[in-house]
Amino acid sequence: MSDQFAVDPAPVDFWRSLRYFNFYRLTLAGLLVFVAGVFGSSLALGAHHLLLFFGSSVLYLVAVLLSVILWQLRWPRFTWQLAMQMGVDIAGLSVLSYASGGIKSNVDLLLLVSLAAAGLISRGKITLFFASLASMAVLLEHSYAVLHDDADGSQYVQVGLLCMAYFAVAWLAHTLAKYAVDSQQLAQRRGRDLVSLSEANRLVMRDMQDGVLVVDGLGGIMQMNLRAERLLRRIAGMGSPLSESFPLLFWHYTKWRQTGASNRDILHLDMGLQARLRFVAIEQEAAHGAVIFLEDMQRVQAEAQQIKLAALGRLTANIAHEVRNPLSAISYAAELMQEEQGDAKNQRLLQIVLDNTLRINQIVQDVMQLNRRDRVQPEVVDLGAMLRTFVGEFALAERIEPGVMVVEGMSAVEVTFDRGHFRQVLWNLCRNALRYGSGLPGSVMLTMSAEEKPVLAIRDDGPGISPEHRGKLFEPFFTTTPEGTGLGLYIAKELCEANGARLEYHAVDGPAGACFHITFVNHAGDGGGQEHAK
């Protein structure tokens, strides 16, 4: 094995080709021995010297069997084995041709097959050397027959043509072998390129933020990435019909194929998700299939929200610089003027100025809190413990009686939320509930529950919210009281969305009261139990 030809570009293919060549030679040698032993001199083969023909056939068969054994051992190296086998063929067939009557027996034509096979196997110019040896053997054979057996000298023309045929076949086999090698190498490169492109395509589709489906002309799913499976909430096997797996999506696809409209339809999915559809034909005509892109509208809205937050950040910085400084000056001047003795009318006017400067300052502070929305630091929060602590702090700060605020429901709920954001949201909602509530025990209730997601409900027993005002609750600067800024609920909703939660208003069964639900999308676990904090 150490002597095996080591510089061949594809040695395995070379040895496989040599195996087939040996199979041909073994068949030919066996056939010659069979003909010589069974039919004897009744055929043209061995007509000149039958005993020589039979003996040479047997020796040729033995040599072929030996070459098969050497091929199995892979020793000696490939080029030496091919050279020895061609030498055996040239010598053996030349002797068999002489024993059969020389050039007129056409046994020498069998060398054309051996030369062609050697050219295809070796894939090098060494085939021309084998053609030279074959030509010399044929010329020597015929010359010996002319000198010793009175053969016809005019047959040198046929010998010359046969030698030319040897070189032509050898050169043609060499050219075809070279072309085959180049084609094989090109196919291997193309195969590697296809594998690389396929892997790159898989990685791109896997990491795309949009869902991607590739369908053929008949609507069969050829490829589908994980994002599409999550959006459609179903896994479809490759080749499955789109009409059966996703009927609504197939309807949009059929509509696009019929009309060719480029407008982007909205596909309504389960769990309130929406995806914007975009169809791209694989070729110029949609009949050959298409690529379907599903753009997650939730992600688009989140990106738009991030852009809005960046603008709000710049806005709040400008507000802080341009408004608070002159506002402080106005407030300070009004306080100085109020210290001076004056009539009651001037004092009342100065108090109005101070009250409005405080209100504007509160608006600036509320707006600046929005700038914290894009600086979320989420952490796992024990909702029950957090609410108990908050109720105590809120009761002290607002000076409310014990029992006015009540916490009910599951006590072992863990959610993922920014702790500072969560306190700000609770403070805004509970202050509103306390403002509109009756102030009696249990007038403000914080209830925890968990079905699919943990939910915290903040409810009061106040007059409630009129139907005409419910659609404007979360709009900035909307308020129903003169002293309010109209930013409390808006800020609470923005902070909840920043932490992956939803703040919604829910109608209350009964004549009065208002209820807000915080649904935690990101939660760590839940538990049971019931507890009251008063």
User: Dihedral of CA 264/265/269/271: which sign?
Assistant: positive
Residue 90 predicted with pLDDT over 80: yes
Tokens, residue 145: 């027959």
CA nearest to 232, candidates 246, 219, 244: 246
**CA 404 from centre of chain:** 55
More confident residue, 528 or 346: 346
Per-residue confidence (pLDDT) for residue 242, from 0 to 100 = 84
Residue 8 predicted with pLDDT over 50: no
217 by Cβ neighbours in 10 Å (0-12 / 13-18 / 19+) ranks as middle
Residue 7 predicted with pLDDT over 50: no
| Lowest model confidence (mean pLDDT) among 168-177, 274-283, 367-376, 449-458 | 367-376
Residues 74/8, Cβ–Cβ less than 8 Å: no
* pLDDT tens digits, 289-347: 888 888 888 777 777 767 776 776 677 667 666 777 787 888 878 887 877 766 777 77
Per-residue confidence (pLDDT) for residue 82, from 0 to 100 = 92
DSSP class of 241: B
Per-residue confidence (pLDDT) for residue 10, from 0 to 100 = 42
Which of 90-99, 254-263, 325-334, 348-357 is the most confident on average? 90-99
223 by Cβ neighbours in 10 Å (0-12 / 13-18 / 19+) ranks as middle
The C-alpha atoms of residue 170 and residue 112 are separated, in whole angstroms, by: 8
| DSSP string computed for 384-411 | HHHHHHHHHHHHHHHT--TTSEEEEE-S
Residue 374 predicted with pLDDT over 60: no
Q: What is the chain's alpha carbon radius of gyration, rounded to the nearest angstrom?
A: 47
Residue 88 predicted with pLDDT over 90: yes
The C-alpha atoms of residue 111 and residue 97 are separated, in whole angstroms, by: 11
Per-residue confidence (pLDDT) for residue 129, from 0 to 100 = 92
Domain boundaries, the chain: 11-186, 209-297, 300-370, 379-525
Give Cα separations from 58 to 65, 96, 99, 469 (angstroms).
11, 11, 14, 111
Percentage of residues in the chain having pLDDT higher than 70: 86
If pLDDT is split at 50, 70 and 90, which confidence band does 530 have? very low
Percentage of residues in the chain having pLDDT higher than 90: 24
The C-alpha atoms of residue 65 and residue 280 are separated, in whole angstroms, by: 63
The C-alpha atoms of residue 395 and residue 441 are separated, in whole angstroms, by: 13
* E-assigned strand segments in 356-492: 379-382, 405-409, 414-417, 444-450, 454-460
Residue 123 predicted with pLDDT over 60: yes
CATH topology of domain 209-297: Beta-Lactamase (3.30.450)
The C-alpha atoms of residue 121 and residue 79 are separated, in whole angstroms, by: 10
Residues 131/169, Cβ–Cβ less than 8 Å: yes
Average pLDDT, the chain: 82
The type of residue at 191 is G
* pLDDT tens digits, 41-54: 667 787 888 899 99
CA nearest to 105, candidates 166, 18, 24, 45: 45
More confident residue, 135 or 531: 135
If pLDDT is split at 50, 70 and 90, which confidence band does 372 have? low
The C-alpha atoms of residue 95 and residue 248 are separated, in whole angstroms, by: 81
Average pLDDT over residues 359-363: 73
The CA angle 319-322-327, to the nearest 5 degrees, is: 95
* pLDDT tens digits, 197-230: 888 888 888 888 888 888 887 788 888 888 888 8
Give Cα separations from 292 to 46, 228, 257, 391 (angstroms).
76, 10, 12, 51
| Lowest model confidence (mean pLDDT) among 393-407, 416-430, 497-511 | 497-511
Per-residue confidence (pLDDT) for residue 534, from 0 to 100 = 34
| DSSP string computed for 16-74 | HHHHHHHHHHHHHHHHHHHHHHHTGGGSSTTSS-HHHHHHHHHHHHHHHHHHHHHHHHT
DSSP class of 107: G
Residue 373 predicted with pLDDT over 60: no
The CATH number of the structural domain formed by 379-525 is 3.30.565.10
**Two domains, one topology: 300-370 and 379-525:** no
| Lowest model confidence (mean pLDDT) among 151-155, 181-185, 230-234, 409-413 | 409-413
* E-assigned strand segments in 229-378: 266-268, 274-281, 290-296
Per-residue confidence (pLDDT) for residue 465, from 0 to 100 = 83
Residue 160 predicted with pLDDT over 70: yes
Task: Name beta bridge partners: 457.
Answer: 447, 517
All residues at 6 or more sequence positions from 463 whose CB lies less than 8 Å from its CB, including other chains:
436, 512
For the domain made up of 300-370, the CATH class stated in words is: mainly alpha
Task: Name beta bridge partners: 295.
Answer: 276
If pLDDT is split at 50, 70 and 90, which confidence band does 364 have? confident
The pTM of the full predicted model, rounded to 2 decimals, is 0.49
